[in-house]
Structure 1
Amino acid sequence: MAINESKQPIIVKKIVKKGGHHGGAWKIAFADFATAMMAFFMLLWILGATTEEQKAAISDYFNNPSVFMGIATSPSQAMGEGTGSKPSLIDFEGAIDMGPLQDPMLDPEQIAALADEQDAARLASLKEILEHKLDQSSTLAPYKDQLLIDIVPEGLRIQIVDKEHRPMFDLGSAKLKNYTSDILRELGALINQVPNRISLTGHTDARPLGDPSYSNWELSTERANAARRALVAGGMRAEKVGRVVGFASTVPFDKSDPNNPINRRISLIVLTREADEAMHEERALLESGREPAPPRPPGVPAPPAPSID
């Protein structure tokens, strides 16, 4: 006898429990908030612990985190026709990374020391670039033996010297030769790629000019100023000039022969931060009515301090 079994449907019952935790999303949001607050308090600490110059240096670094601070093109430095500026001639690949300057835990002295290191590295790199340009540039290469580049305590010094039968200026005049103007224009475009200011000094030989009303003092100063105008015409910003001085024949290149043509020269120094600050201090003394020490010729060490018995 067959037994008919009725088949009952299988019912699956799903139970959803309400309540409990909401996952880990809140942890991520809280971590982001904590990080933002930490960064905010570090910013407040930096603003309170640094001078205005140090703030400017830090700001400049974050705008351009490389050994060449301040190379970003601002609206006043726009490139192209009618702007008076040329595209950058410097290859900045391989610039030294100065990452430690980003550490917000550095004290003002450490920041200043790092800024000095960055300054020295920047000038050393510029020296290498200029020396490379002496070989590669059609403007500079023919006058390579008249362009002397070295590092002095005040910064990177570039001297443009006279040579027999190839003077920089007309005889007894502050008028630049055409090739001298071309050299200075190209140097101006290169120097403009770094934020450092410059000092310009003019030098003559010991030959008198024959005009009692116009001496080598006037001539050396006017020649330095003519060099300044050519540098600016080449694209260097006018405000980068910190000093224009004439030394006449008082600091000869060739001390054994005061009349050597090489003594007639223009000396351009791309100043270190420390040298620039010293120049500011001299100006402050002048404004206060006190007399600062006379400017030292480039590369001449400071006199030793007097001994105390």
Structure 2
Amino acid sequence: MSVGSNAPVIIKRKKVVSGDGHHGGAWKVAYADFVTAMMAFFMLMWLLNATTEKQRKGIADYFSPTIPINRVSGGGDGSFGGDSVFTEDTLAQNGIGATSLRAAPQKAGSVGFKDGDKLRELEQILLGSGGEVLASENALRHFVTRVTDEGLVVELFALEGEPLFVPGSDTPTVLLIELVSVVARVFALATNSVAIEGHSRSHAVVLKQNPVWDRSVERAEIVREMMIETLTPERIDRIVGHADRKPAVSNPMAMRNDRLEVVLLRSDV
């Protein structure tokens, strides 16, 4: 080609693509997740093969602590290892637990529950919200709880066909014995004083002697005697009979008005 030729100059551009340019390092993260998942899968398969049915149930219960394992016990394979929440050997020794037969040592400055939060913790135990169901399903129909300025009030009441006392007497029924036992066990976790108040339904005005005053006081006294089987007598602050002056429902003669109120008093009132 001569020097003076006008032939065009052709320039070729070559695009170089890096091997990691498109995906970057994302594949490494995905691979790590895959390996982790496979490891977890093989561990699960190994556990299923190496454990018994009872052990597998214990593992499942550990991750579902709100499911009651037993009405009284904490469960054999659960976090309590077979002990109830009321087992005194496992309770923290802070001066607020134990029964009168095995009192926990009091620390300097230890006092009873003062605030509503602590009272509500005991209320949740009574209602079985933490997994410990202390009362039978039928018994749970016969009490309600509330936290007031006075303290934790537990109201035990009769229903039609299910009285707290044998009709015409002051002999407690099996139902009342169960209810008082549950309340006493929970109140034993505190050191606060206790008040017991009796209420009675109205009777026909034609009665020559109206027994509602005497009956409400006598029944409160019977509950006091039942409570001190678990609590120390000194913790009972008072017993009161209200007769039929404070009915729970509009019909003054309704069985629902036969009731008792057991109050765990605030220590700062």
TM interval, short-chain normalised: 0.5 to 0.7
Percent identity between the two aligned chains:
21
SS of 1:168's partner is coil
The answer to whether structure 1 residue 222 and structure 2 residue 246 are counterparts is: no
Ranges of 4+ aligned residues in structure 1 off by more than 4 Å: 66-69, 115-118, 133-136, 208-214
Compared CA separation, residues 209 and 193, structure 1 to 2 (3 A): farther
CA deviations 1:188-211 (Å, max 9, x no partner) are: 122111011111000011114976
The answer to whether structure 1 residue 253 and structure 2 residue 248 are counterparts is: yes
Q: Which residue of 1 aligns with 2:102?
A: 78
1:118 to partner: Cα distance:
4.4
1:1-309 mapped onto 2 (5 Å cutoff): 70-71=95-96, 77-78=101-102, 118-132=114-128, 136-137=132-133, 139-208=135-204, 212=208, 215-233=211-229, 235-254=230-249, 256-275=250-269
1:127 to partner: Cα distance:
0.9
Partner Cα separation in structure 2 for residue 219 and residue 207 of structure 1: 12
CA contact (8 A) 1:69 1:194 kept: no
CA contact (8 A) 1:219 1:248 kept: yes
1:181 to partner: Cα distance:
1.1
Q: Rg larger in 1 or in 2?
A: 2
Unaligned segments of structure 2, at least 5 residues: 1-90
CA contact (8 A) 2:98 2:189 kept: no
Partner Cα separation in structure 1 for residue 206 and residue 188 of structure 2: 38
Unaligned segments of structure 1, at least 5 residues: 1-65, 80-87, 89-101, 103-114, 276-309
Structural RMSD (CA): 3.3
CA deviations 1:125-161 (Å, max 9, x no partner) are: 1111111179854644322121101111100000011
CA contact (8 A) 1:198 1:269 kept: yes
CA contact (8 A) 2:139 2:178 kept: no
CA contact (8 A) 1:168 1:176 kept: yes
The TM-score, its normalising length taken from structure 1, stands at 0.50
Paired AA for residue 153 in structure 1? D
What count of residue pairs does the alignment treat as equivalent?
Answer: 176
The TM-score, its normalising length taken from structure 2, stands at 0.57
SS of 2:228's partner is helix
